Amino acid sequence: MAWNRRNLLDLHDWEPGDYREFVDYALSLAPRLESVPKQPLDSLRGMTVANMFFENSTRTRNSFAAAEQMTGASYIDWSASGSSMAKGETLRDTVWTLCEMGVNGLVVRHSLTGMPYYIQKLVPHIPVFNAGDGARSHPTQGLLDIVAATRRLGDLKGARVAIIGDIKYSRVARSDIHSFAGMGASVVLCGPRTLMPSLPDSLGVECEDDPRKAVAGADIVMLLRVQLERQEAGLFPSVGEYHALYGADEELLSLAKPGAGVMHPAPINRGVEIASAVADGPQSLLREQVHCGVLTRMAVLDICLGGRR
């Protein structure tokens, strides 16, 4: 991996070796997070990161905060509603203001596609970390998912990963396609036709209408959150019908490989994309994903802000 990369805006320029090296490094940090008391890296002591979230978030926002603490960095928990943007200040002026306060990195989540790229161009001397932009990309989610899957399965080369749900509007799906394929896994996508995008052949993914065929022999079953406003827009008839056709219950899971892991980026809609018996069952990796999110973001911050170097 080019360990001198300063930003994490997307995963499209990562090579297979980058993913493997990153996963190894993230997993090497696990003893520090899991020990009692914890053993912070402290590699970024004296640095400050601003977490700029323009969308609500529980896991990503707090996971970055935990990772910043574990690497020794201070952080500013910024929100638009409590800032001068509520008085009409432009995003440009807000970003410049934070950076002049001595911020060393910016974590950005925004509903507009490409916003982290825009901010990075405003302050090219400050590393920017994409915490999700529109329906385009969520790179740290893609990375944490392969970290969690590797902890479960070991080597992902040759593994079959079924991603089921709202593919068209999911930034998680796009990042997961890159990350799992980069680890040598084969990816099959499945969902209602109204929620399936047109994908370039270069991505090398398989598309399947029938979730039973998609899950058959899968090592990982990834369920994507259904945004319920899609039902209001008529993209599927009802949440009950969606669950009956595409929801993960014990019957559907029985078609996957024995011991297959079940994943979901959360928050979950119980009884819609996933049944409670599956979400809380022995094959569920939902909590492992949250745990690996901290490891992943520790590794990203440490690499891009210079601690590891």
Assess if residue 157 is contained within a domain. yes
What pLDDT was estimated at residue 203? 67
d(CA 205, CA 114): 24
pLDDT of residue 239: 78
- The CATH number of the domain where 230 resides is what? 3.40.50.1370
How far is it, in rounded angstroms, from Cα 309 to Cα 296?
17
Domain tally, the chain: 2
Q: Do 104 and 170 sit in the same domain of this protein?
A: no
Residue 31 lies in domain: 16-138+290-304
Strands of 54-122, DSSP E: 74-79, 105-110
Q: Are residues 70 and 87 located together in one domain of the fold? A: yes
Region class of 110: left (phi > 0), else alpha (psi between -120 and 50), else beta? beta
Token pair listed for 89: 């200040």
Is 0.95 topped by the overall pTM? no
127 and 226 housed in the same domain = no
Phi and psi (nearest 5°) for 306?
100, 0
Report if residue 258 sits inside a domain: yes
Same domain? For 113 and 182 the reply is no
CA distance 19 to 175: 12
Encode the chain (309 residues) as per-residue pLDDT tens digits. 555 679 999 999 999 999 999 999 999 999 999 999 999 999 999 999 999 999 888 999 999 999 999 999 999 998 766 677 767 788 899 999 999 999 999 999 999 999 999 999 999 999 999 999 998 999 999 999 999 999 999 999 999 999 999 898 899 999 999 999 999 999 999 998 888 887 656 567 899 999 999 999 999 999 998 876 555 555 666 778 888 888 899 999 999 999 999 999 999 999 999 999 999 999 999 999 999 999 999 999 999 998 665
Residue 8 is given by DSSP the state: B
Handedness of CA 2, 179, 30, 41 (dihedral sign): positive
What span, in angstroms and rounded, lies between the C-alpha atoms of 102 and 116? 19
**Strand 186-190 vs strand 160-164: parallel, antiparallel, or unpaired?**
parallel
Give me the pLDDT at residue 151, please: 96
Let me know whether 180 and 148 are in one domain: yes
pLDDT at position 5: 77
Shared domain for 147 and 266, answered yes or no, is yes
Asked if the structure places residue 263 within a domain, the reply is yes
Sheet holding 220-223, edge to edge: 206-207, 186-190, 160-164, 220-223, 261-263
pLDDT given at position 56: 86
For 171, half-sphere exposure in the C-beta direction (CA atoms, 13 angstrom radius) is 23
